[in-house]
Amino acid sequence: MLVVVHEDYGAMSKKGAEIIASRIRRKPNLVLGLATGSTPVGLYKEIIRLHKSEGLDFSKVITFNLDEYIGIPPEHDQSYHYFMRENLFKDININPSNVHVPHAMFGDLNISSFETDPKIVQFCEWYENEIKKYGGIDIQVLGIGGNGHIAFNEPGSSLGSRTRIKTLTEKTVKDNSRFFKSVKEVPRYAITMGVGTIMEARELLLLANGDGKADAVKAAVEGPITAMCPASALQLHQKAIILTDKKAAAKLSAEFVTYG
Ligand code: PGA
């Protein structure tokens, strides 16, 4: 695992975009895993700049997003479909038919049996097969939750888990309530790639910034590999890069980091 600490959010985002751009230049039909949340916004801005000023070409790039809230329509301004359109897709030359964001409108769900709801199970299997059909994800962008989650794999998620429905923890609901009018509006369920799905990507690129991520980054990098910190699974990955700003790296032991 390579941990590279940057002066600030801007430098971290620029480095992340450079890494992605280099992979697209090497393989124009790159299968790119994408993440939502506030962390990758700067990375996406920099990618858009590289597209507009240096002609970084997305015409053959295939994308797969990590997750989506259940029950929020794609046109809702807090859906991850909307986030990706607004923060990236509308400003690059991606072919809409190459974009995959999990579907999350399944009508009324029975909370006591949703994990076996055939509509959801079928969709999740389809999503996994679609990733395989394109040869697997070449590089997956990740954020990290303050509780160590990756995508919506909350603490306790099996490190072998696949795409499925997950219940969000109270911490995640609270963390994400800043994007909604009130905490009551935050969805409680999501479709998410599993930790096992994520670990099959050939390369992982996790970004973390701000004080609020320092404990989670320390647990992921230096703690035991445990389902209680799903990001700690990255320690088992052959090619995982963690980019941080100084604040998110503040609790790491100096010997584990390099400086970008
Ligand atoms: P954030 O979320 O980028 O909005 O901090 C990251 C995550 O929860 O994975």
Element (H or E) spanning 20, and its range?
A: helix 9-26
Mean pLDDT of the chain: 96
CA 108 – CA 90 distance, rounded (Å): 31
pTM: 0.96
- Burial class of residue 85 (count of CB atoms within 10 Å of its CB; 0-12, 13-18, 19+): middle
State the residue for tokens 């973390």. 208
Spatial distance between the Cα atoms of 181 and 178, rounded to a whole number of angstroms: 8
**How does strand 67-69 pair with strand 189-192?**
antiparallel
pLDDT tens-digit readout, 68-125: 999 999 999 999 999 999 999 999 999 999 999 999 898 887 777 888 889 999 999 9
pLDDT, position 4: 97
Q: Determine the pLDDT at residue 257.
A: 85
Quote the pLDDT of residue 171: 87
Q: Which of 138, 154, 175, 245 is catalytic?
A: 154
Structure tokens, 167: 């219940």
The CATH label, of 3.40.50.300, 1.10.940.10, 3.40.50.1360, 3.40.1440.10, for the domain at 2-259 is 3.40.50.1360
Strand partners, 34: 65
One-character DSSP codes across 159-184: TT--SEEEEPPHHHHHHHGGGSSSGG
Q: How far apart are the first and last CA of the chain?
A: 15
Distance from Cα 135 to the centre of ligand 1, integer Å? 27
Domain boundaries, the chain: 2-259
Show the low-confidence residues of the chain (pLDDT under 50): none
DSSP assignment letter at 77: T
CB under 6 Å to ligand 1: residues?
Answer: 37-39, 143-145
Residue 150, classed as helix, strand or coil, is: strand
**Structure confidence at residue 111 (pLDDT):** 75
State whether residue 208 is helix, strand or coil: strand
Candidate list 149, 153, 175, 209, residue with the active-site label: 149
pLDDT value, residue 238: 97
pLDDT single digits (tens) 183-201: 999 999 999 999 999 999 9
| Candidate of 12, 175, 215, 247 to mutate for ligand 1, largest count of ligand atoms within 8 Å of Cβ | 175
